[in-house]
Amino acid sequence: MNFIKPLILVSLLGGAALAQSTGPSIMPPISPDAAHVVVPDNMTARLNVQRYTSSPVTLTLTLQNLTGKQQEISSPRDNRQECSFGPMVRVLEVGTRKVVYPPEGAGNVMLCAQDMFVGTIPAGGTIKLERELELPKGDYMVESWFAGYGLGGTIKVPAEAKRLTVW
């Protein structure tokens, strides 16, 4: 009887850990150590999306380089984002915070091509990353960011979330 209590405890804790680890992540697996991911002060992102639109929805993330020299950025494809280079996106249903995109279960063992997006942002300039999403009718908050390499390390450059209505 004494061995049953530890088994119950382990199964309860293991289930909670499994539930936490299987949900969608908001950041692609760029770096094995999240402590080394930098949100740079000298690079900004701006998300452009029509407030009212029909599907497919076009999202444009504009990265601006605030440094005095050109910067090279790069990003691998992400299997949780339909093998996209970016911009990375998370879409939440307004009022419920239910994650609509990426779909539940995204990030399976599907392999993406191993090529990388490489771009150069001129000093004080910008670069645009564009992407289309098929979304059902509804009201959403769209979160977007660039995750990849730049400024000598692994970076994540988030943009302000935008509200979107698909009719």
> Quick check: is 16 in a domain?
no
- In this prediction, residue 15 carries a pLDDT of 43
**Mean per-residue pLDDT for 46-59?**
97
Confirm if 74 and 120 have CB atoms less than 8 A apart.
no
| pTM for the full predicted model | 0.76
**Count of domains for the chain:** 1
> Quick check: is 21 in a domain?
no
> Quick check: is 116 in a domain?
yes
User: Beta 99-101 vs 88-93: how paired, if at all?
Assistant: antiparallel
Q: How confident is the model at residue 114 (pLDDT cuts 50, 70, 90)?
A: confident
Query: Cβ contacts of residue 125 below 8 Å, gap of 6+?
Result: 64, 65, 70
Domain that holds residue 72: 33-166
What is the tens place of the pLDDT at every residue in 119-144? 999 999 999 999 999 999 999 999 99
> Quick check: is 9 in a domain?
no
End-to-end CA distance of the chain: 59
CATH number for 89: 2.60.40.2360
> Quick check: is 94 in a domain?
yes
> Quick check: is 109 in a domain?
yes
Q: What are φ and ψ of residue 151, in 5° steps? A: 55, 30
Angle at 142 between CA 29 and CA 26, to 5 degrees: 20
Q: What is the mean pLDDT of the chain?
A: 82
The proportion of the chain whose per-residue pLDDT surpasses 90, expressed as a percent, equals 62
Q: In this model, does residue 108 exceed pLDDT 50?
A: yes
> Quick check: is 68 in a domain?
yes
Give me 82's structure tokens.
């339909």
